Structure 1
C-alpha cells in the first residue's frame, strides 16, 4: 500500500492589525512577549481586552481563553499563568482557512493586513523552531481540547510521525490524516517579509472600533 507523504499547505496566513504593519515591515513579526519587553507579570496575566504598548504596538486580547476555562483543560502541573507565558512567546500562523475566517470575524471590524506566507521557505529557514498544533490553542471555550507542551509538535517530527507525540498518555493518537490548524514559531521572525507572497488589506472600509 502506498502511503501519502504528509505535507503542510503551500500558504500559511498571519492576520496583522493595520496599526502594526509598518513596524512589521521594518522589524518583522514579534511575539507578544517581545512586544511586552519580556515583562513576566504581563506575559503571565490574562488579557481580557486588547492593549497598546508604549511603543504603539497593538496586542490582541485573550478573551477566548479565560483563566477559569483554561484551568479545566491544562495538563498537570501547568497553570493558566504558565499557558499565557507559553502563548505569548509564540508567533502564530493559520493553516486552516475556516479558522482564519473565524479570526477575521473576531477582529471587530478593525482594519487588518492579511499576510500570505510561503510555508516551505519558512520551514526551510526556521524549521528548528516551528511546530504545528491540531486545534486552536488560543481558545478554551466550548468543550476545549486538553492541552499542554505536547500540543506543539515540532514540524519535522510531525512530518515523520504525525501526532504520536501529541497524544495524551493512555489514549490513541489522532489520525495521521488530521490536518494541522496552526503553524507556530517559538521565536520572533525579523525577516518575515522575505517569505510573504501577498499582503491583502481587510476591513479597510469599516469604521474603527475600540477593542
Structure 2
C-alpha cells in the first residue's frame, strides 16, 4: 500500500470500531485494549485455564481481580474448527489460527460490519459496548505494528473465506489496489495490532451501549 492509498483508506474509513462486552470501558481506559494473550498475561492466568482460553471459546471467559478490574475474553461463536479445517491454507491448523487471533487486538473499518455482528443470532439479544476511535491518530501512533486483513478472520460460516500466512499483512505490504476492485468496495475489513494498544483511550471518540442496531446509551463522547 502506497502513502496515497493509505491516505485514501483513512479518508474513506476515518473511524475504527471495536466491540466489547458491556461494562468494559472502565478497564479499557485503565489498561488499553488487550489481545487475549496480553489479558491472560496481565491477570497471571496459567495452566489449563490459560490453555482453555487459547482454544476456541464457545462462551466468554471472565477475568477479574480487585486490583486489576474485569475483562471478558469474548466468545468465538462465529468461528468453528471444522470451518477452519476447510479454509486454512499454507499448512496451518486450527490451533495455529487461534494463536494468530489470540495475539491481536481487532478493529473494524466500517460501521456496517459492526451492525452485522450485533444483528447476528449470537449477539442480537445482548447489549454491547461499541468504541469508535480516530483511525488516523491510531495509525500514526502504531503504524509499524499494524496488520490489515481483507476478511473477517474470526468467522467461518457456511462458506468460509480462505485464509493463511498472508491474511494479516503490514500496511506497506498490503495489496490495496487489488482489493479496491472488490464488488463490496471494502479494501480492508480488519485492522489489527499485535499484543495490546495500551493508549487506546487516547483515540476513542465515542463509546455507545448498543443492542442490535439500537443505541441504548452513550457512555463517553470526546469534546
Flag whether TM exceeds 0.5 (same fold). yes
* Whole-Å separation in 1 of the counterparts to 2:36 and 2:56: 12
Aligned to 1:147: 163
Asked whether the equivalents of residues 53 and 61 of structure 2 are also in contact (C-alpha less than 8 Å), the reply is no
Match among 177, 192, 199 for residue 184 of structure 1: 192
1:20 correspondence with 2:28: no
* Whole-Å separation in 1 of the counterparts to 2:200 and 2:113: 21
1:101 correspondence with 2:115: yes
Aligned to 2:40: 36
Deviation at 1:205, TM superposition (A): 5.4
**Using a 3 Å threshold, how does the CA distance of structure 1 residues 44 and 201 change in structure 2: closer, same or farther?**
closer
Match among 86, 97, 107 for residue 100 of structure 2: 86
Q: Which moved more, 1:123-132 or 1:100-109?
A: 100-109
TM-score after normalising by structure 2: 0.77
Q: Which runs of 4+ in 1 moved over 4 A?
A: none
* Whole-Å separation in 1 of the counterparts to 2:127 and 2:54: 28
TM-score after normalising by structure 1: 0.81
* 1:56-114, Cα deviation, whole Å (9 max, x unpaired): 32111112211111111111321101111110111111112221112222434333222
Pairing of 1:57-206 with structure 2 (within 5 A): 57-106=71-120, 107-158=123-174, 161-162=175-176, 174-178=178-182, 179-203=187-211
* Whole-Å separation in 1 of the counterparts to 2:165 and 2:53: 17
* Whole-Å separation in 2 of the counterparts to 1:162 and 1:52: 37
Structure 1: state its 5+ residue gaps. Answer: 164-173, 207-211
Structure 2: state its 5+ residue gaps. Answer: 218-223
Q: CA RMSD in A?
A: 2.2
* Whole-Å separation in 1 of the counterparts to 2:138 and 2:171: 11
Deviation at 1:42, TM superposition (A): 3.3
Say how many residue pairs are matched: 191
* Whole-Å separation in 2 of the counterparts to 1:11 and 1:188: 19
Q: Give the structure with the higher percent strand.
A: 2
